[in-house]
């Protein structure tokens, strides 16, 4: 089967945030060149290579039957793990995208649902850019298509006057379409997907003849995300739910692993910002332990604490560590300490909530104070509690 050519890519110099198809361009090109496993029509990589791209070389699919030595060895070399979570869930997600059903990733905010959808789209279609951002103001033309009104007035409804939106392009080009925060959209907007997912086509009633129908090319599918905290805001209809397979993305439960991940990601972000503050693992342990305690509502020693309503995710912990590193570099002695974590915790956790502020202050008074008597990093953290207010 002929390999699908990747889309034209623009240079990544100067981008504030690179999409995965640019950030991991070398890995993707390597996988495309060395991947000789069977692949679905319209896919840029085989399912096995997609798995390797997302989970890394060390998490190669169990059992290597069906692959040549060349493919097994070459396609799995020098590929880093990008998603840290349930490997079996990733396998199921990839299988779903090969099927006639769409995929929706659900879970708490900050559990890397969007990142996983980006990685899957980049690996399968070569681009993660066909994205619909769900909000209360999302309209049907932002999903399907709109019109160049100057051409519309001059020529009437013609293919040249049509401006394709992500769903139109995904169908026509045979690519994955990402629908972020789908439950933030009103039900009537969500349900524009029902007929598309059922019939695999999109009607353009303004155009006559063959131009009035866009048929899905092989490779088309939808991967959506939804936060469990938004459940009930705009519940999906039963008809739409039937057309999706639901996969839950859980927070990281292993504190030791989360510590390594936060430290690694924070250092990478700080390196990209051109700063290299001193990061001691024991300092990051203060941050990760705090997040685990507040997320679970209980410390490792069994002390019950009140859980704030704010998201205590790994992504938020990375953001706090990144901000603390910038704080220490520009306003301190370039060594990250507990006080820097406390200052940056305010914006990440409190979110203008008086109740959350009370809960965090109580955590400091009961838990952090006790730990500060035995550990200098916890003491620095506790001494900066004044930023939490009174």
- What are the angstrom distances between the C-alpha of 273 and each of 138, 158, 261, 276? 33, 47, 18, 9
What does the pLDDT look like over 360-373, one tens digit per residue? Answer: 999 999 999 999 99
Phi-psi region of 92 (alpha: psi -120 to 50; beta: other; left: phi over 0): alpha
- What is the CA 193 to chain-centroid distance, rounded? 22
Whether the Cβ atoms of residue 133 and residue 124 lie closer than 8 Å to each other: no
| Residue at token pair 């945030």 | 17
Which tokens belong to 132?
């619909």
At 162, is the secondary structure helix, strand, or coil? strand
pLDDT of 208:
80
Q: Could you tell me the pTM of the whole model?
A: 0.85
Domain coordinates of the chain in residue numbers? 86-248, 255-388
Question: Phi and psi for 321 in degrees, rounded to 5?
Answer: -65, -40
pLDDT of 110:
84
Residues of the chain with pLDDT under 50: 1-11, 61-75
Which tokens belong to 211?
């131009």
Element (H, E) at 176: strand 176-180
Residue 287's closest CA among 384, 183, 356, 200? 384
pLDDT of 4:
41
Whether the Cβ atoms of residue 214 and residue 261 lie closer than 8 Å to each other: no
pLDDT of 253:
83
Residue 138's closest CA among 96, 169, 183? 183
pLDDT of 150:
96
pLDDT of 13:
59
pLDDT of 68:
37
pLDDT of 60:
53
Second CATH level (architecture) for the domain 86-248: 3-Layer(aba) Sandwich (3.40)
């Amino acid at each position: 089967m002929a390999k699908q050519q990747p889309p034209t890519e623009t240079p990544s110099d100067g981008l504030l945030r690179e999409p995965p198809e640019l950030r991991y361009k070398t890995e993707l090109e390597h996988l495309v060149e060395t991947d000789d496993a069977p692949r679905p029509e319209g896919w840029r990589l085989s399912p096995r290579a997609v798995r390797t791209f997302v989970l890394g070389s060390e998490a190669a699919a169990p059992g290597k039957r069906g692959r040549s030595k060349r493919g097994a060895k070459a396609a799995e070399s020098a590929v880093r793990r990008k998603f840290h979570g349930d490997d079996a869930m990733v396998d199921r997600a990839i299988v779903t995208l090969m099927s006639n059903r769409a995929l929706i990733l659900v879970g708490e905010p900050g559990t890397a649902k969007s990142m996983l959808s980006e990685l899957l789209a980049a690996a399968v279609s070569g681009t993660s850019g066909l994205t619909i951002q769900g909000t209360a103001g999302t309209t049907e033309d932002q999903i399907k298509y709109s019109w160049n009104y100057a051409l519309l007035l001059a020529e009437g409804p013609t293919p040249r006057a049509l401006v394709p939106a992500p769903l139109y392009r995904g169908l026509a080009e045979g690519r994955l379409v990402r629908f972020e925060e789908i439950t933030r959209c009103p039900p009537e907007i969500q349900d524009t997907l029902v007929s598309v997912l059922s019939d695999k086509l999109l009607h353009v009633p303004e155009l006559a003849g063959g131009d009035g129908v866009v048929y899905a090319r092989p490779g088309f599918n939808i991967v959506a995300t939804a936060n469990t905290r938004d459940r009930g805001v705009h519940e999906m209809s039963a008809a739409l739910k039937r057309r999706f397979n639901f996969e839950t993305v859980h927070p990281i439960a292993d504190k030791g692993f989360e510590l390594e991940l936060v430290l690694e990601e924070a250092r990478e972000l700080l390196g990209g910002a051109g700063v290299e503050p001193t990061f001691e693992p024991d300092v990051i342990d203060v941050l990760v332990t705090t997040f685990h305690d507040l997320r679970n509502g209980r410390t490792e020693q069994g002390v019950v604490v009140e859980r704030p309503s704010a998201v205590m995710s790994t992504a938020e912990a990375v953001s706090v560590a990144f901000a603390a590193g910038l704080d220490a570099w520009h306003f301190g002695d370039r060594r990250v300490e507990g006080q820097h974590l406390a200052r940056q915790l305010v914006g990440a956790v409190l979110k203008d909530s008086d109740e959350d502020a009370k809960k965090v202050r109580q955590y400091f008074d009961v838990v952090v104070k006790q730990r500060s008597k035995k550990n200098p990093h916890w003491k620095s953290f506790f001494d900066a509690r004044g930023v939490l207010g009174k």
